[in-house]
Amino acid sequence: MILVVGGAGYIGSHLVKELVEKEEVIVLDNLATGHQESVDERAVFIKGDLGNAEDLEPIFSKYPIKAVMHFAAFSLVGESVQDPFKYYENNVANTLTLLKTMLKFNVKNFIFSSTAATYGIPEEEIILEKSNTAPINPYGRSKLMVEQILADFHEAYGLNYVVFRYFNAAGAHESGEIGEKHDPETHLIPIILQHLLGQRESISVFGTDYPTEDGTCIRDYIHVTDLAAAHIKGVEALLDGSKQAETYNLGNGVGYSVKEVIETCENVTGKKANVVLADRRVGDPARLVASSNKIYEDLGWKAERGLESIIQSAWEWHKKA
């Protein structure tokens, strides 16, 4: 069995939907930002907190867990600057409780959701896993701290792990049953689509004076179903022993500016957006684009879906949501 912590959230629920086809799955989630109805009904759902050993230990006692996939975190950059305690407590301290419990029950395979925010303001156009990590906010630092803890635990206790640094996750499941449902929503693509559905008056473009071709920020958008596929390859590599301690970028390798994303949403939906040019949002790097060659070479994974397909799937979901 595989324990998915945070499996009621956006990315976790998409992974669960794919993983239940292959494995028995238990989801632990406190529903702080997740939705129980997003959890595939073939998975066992347990409401609980990864920071409570009393919630964790009965699960590890009862079920033969061979790996843990850890998606649970707080992940709003701005909020992490306002309230860093919340982030270090949930993302780092609570993760330590999870790791301690795993070691107590001799479960030694761990998949961790990290982020492009660990790179801070990158020096390279295309970011490699070995590029410098210098996060510029508590959220990114909390994720990098866990990465460092994992490397130490691997050396000291034989904990095996795969860290995935996601770039910008977006899109919805092709079944149309689940999609991106953050509240509040801060991510660009769902905000644009909500606007095009008449749920928001306009879209603000945060910053038009970045050193990019059209002055707006460039990001690497990755379909959430592609992310799920990478996680399945990652956990298989841990379970068959071929990988023990790896960090992989997960992106498309193609960057799109905020203006290009808005245009693509207009093309896909056939609707015109009301765009307001606004000031920069604090803490946004101008450009974040991944090289995902390492995971292609090691595990044969690459992103299958581009920006249009991401937006098309998200649009199908938002029209119904």
Ligand X SMILES: NC(=O)c1ccc[n+]([C@@H]2O[C@H](COP(=O)([O-])OP(=O)(O)OC[C@H]3O[C@@H](n4cnc5c(N)ncnc54)[C@H](O)[C@@H]3O)[C@@H](O)[C@H]2O)c1
Binding-site ranges for ligand UPG (CB under 6 A): 75, 115-117, 167-168, 186-188, 191, 203-206, 217, 219, 258, 281, 284, 288
User: What angle (nearest 5°) sits at the alpha carbon of residue 45, between those of residues 39 and 46?
Assistant: 135
Residue 166 engages ligand X in binding (rule: CB under 6 A)? yes
State the nearest-atom distance from the C-beta of 177 to ligand UPG, in Å.
23
CA distances from 244 to 60, 150, 162, 163 (A): 22, 11, 7, 11
State the nearest-atom distance from the C-beta of 171 to ligand X, in Å.
11
DSSP class of 244: S
Inter-residue contact 112 to 91 (CB < 8 Å) = no
Closer residue to ligand UPG (CB): 51 or 283:
283
Reading the block at residue 287, the tokens are 């450009």
Residue 72 engages ligand X in binding (rule: CB under 6 A)? yes
Closer residue to ligand X (CB): 59 or 276:
59
Inter-residue contact 139 to 77 (CB < 8 Å) = yes
The interface partner of residue 94, options being ligand UPG, ligand X, none and the CB cut-off 5 to 8 Å by kind, is: ligand X
State the nearest-atom distance from the C-beta of 294 to ligand UPG, in Å.
17
Inter-residue contact 216 to 258 (CB < 8 Å) = yes
Collapsing DSSP to helix, strand or coil, 249 comes out as: strand
Choose one: 127-135, 144-152, 163-171, 270-278; the region binding ligand X (CB under 6 A): 163-171
Inter-residue contact 208 to 280 (CB < 8 Å) = no
State the nearest-atom distance from the C-beta of 106 to ligand UPG, in Å.
32
Chain residues that interact with ligand X, rule: CB under 6 A: 6, 8-12, 29-34, 49-51, 71-73, 75, 90, 94, 113, 115, 166, 168-169, 182
